[in-house]
Each structure stands twice: as C-alpha cells, then as structure tokens.
C-alpha cells in the first residue's frame, strides 16, 4: 500500500515538469490555499496566485531537464522533501540556465500536493 518516497518524488517531478512545459495553466491542481511559492525574489501563497505567477513568466516555450533529484521523508506523516537541480531551456535560447528547486509534498488521500516550493536560477 505505502509507496516508496523516492518513487513518489520521481513521479511527482516528472509530472510537474511535463505539465509546466506543456501547459502551465493546469498546475493549480498541485497546490492548495496554504501552499507557498518562492520564485526568485517573488513570494506567493495559494494555488490561484501561484499559478497566476507561473503563467505570467515571460516565455512561451520552456523545457526543464532534471540533473539531480534527491528525496527524503520529511515527517512521520508521509511528507516528502525533494531537491532538484536542473537546466531550463527557454524559447529559442541555445544555452540552458541552471536552477535549483525544492518541493515539500504533503499527502492528501491517495495523492500529494505541494506545500512548499522554492525556485532559484543559479547565476554564475
């Protein structure tokens, strides 16, 4: 019955980035009212504001590539912490930008939602 946290973390991130890259207006299902997003220096709370922010990002085409993905159980309640480092390809840019992202996933019935989400580009 209980699914391994590594499997959940991998499947969640795969789904999240596929959804982000194909149609980010649909990401709201993965957040709740209490969810938080830090995107670079912007801070948002709640599925509605979070999706509005993600949709407003100034690019049309985007592709995430995961470089590393590490997960740990984050409490006795089934929470999962995931840290991703990866590359972001935007529009017609040839050079990917590196990023780091953390998701704190909370269980919700048979599924999970994002409680915390912190995203930073890695400037060099």
Residue ranges in contact with a copy of itself by CB under 8 A: 36, 38, 67-68, 70, 72-75, 79, 81, 83, 85, 98, 100, 102, 104, 115-116, 118, 120, 122-124
Q: For the CB of residue 23, give the shortest distance to a copy of itself in the complex, in Å.
A: 26
Q: For a copy of itself, which is the closer residue by CB, 9 or 51?
A: 9
Q: For the CB of residue 85, give the shortest distance to a copy of itself in the complex, in Å.
A: 5
Q: For a copy of itself, which is the closer residue by CB, 62 or 81?
A: 81
- Token readout for 59 is 């690019």
Q: For the CB of residue 5, give the shortest distance to a copy of itself in the complex, in Å.
A: 11
Please spell the DSSP secondary structure of the chain, one letter per residue: -PPPHHHHHHHHHHHHHHHHHHHGGGGGGGEEEEEEEEETTEEEESHHHHHHHHHHSS-S-EEEEEEEEEEEE-STTS-EEEEEEEEEEETT-SSPEEEEEEEEEEEETTEEEEEEEEEEE---
Q: For a copy of itself, which is the closer residue by CB, 24 or 98?
A: 98
DSSP 100: E
- Token readout for 72 is 């740990």
Q: For a copy of itself, which is the closer residue by CB, 81 or 89?
A: 81
Q: For the CB of residue 86, give the shortest distance to a copy of itself in the complex, in Å.
A: 10
């Amino acid at each position: 019955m209980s699914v391994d946290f590594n499997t959940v973390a991998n499947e969640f991130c795969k789904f999240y980035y596929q959804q982000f890259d194909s149609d980010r207006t649909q990401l709201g299902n993965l957040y709740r009212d209490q969810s938080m997003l830090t995107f670079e220096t912007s801070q948002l709370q709640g599925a509605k504001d979070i999706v509005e922010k993600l949709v407003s990002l100034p690019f049309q085409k985007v592709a995430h590539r995961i470089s590393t993905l590490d997960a740990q159980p984050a409490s006795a309640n089934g929470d999962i912490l995931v840290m991703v480092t990866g590359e972001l390809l935007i529009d017609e840019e040839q050079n990917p930008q590196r990023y780091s992202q953390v998701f704190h996933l909370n269980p919700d019935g048979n599924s999970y939602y994002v409680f915390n989400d912190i995203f930073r580009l890695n400037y060099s």
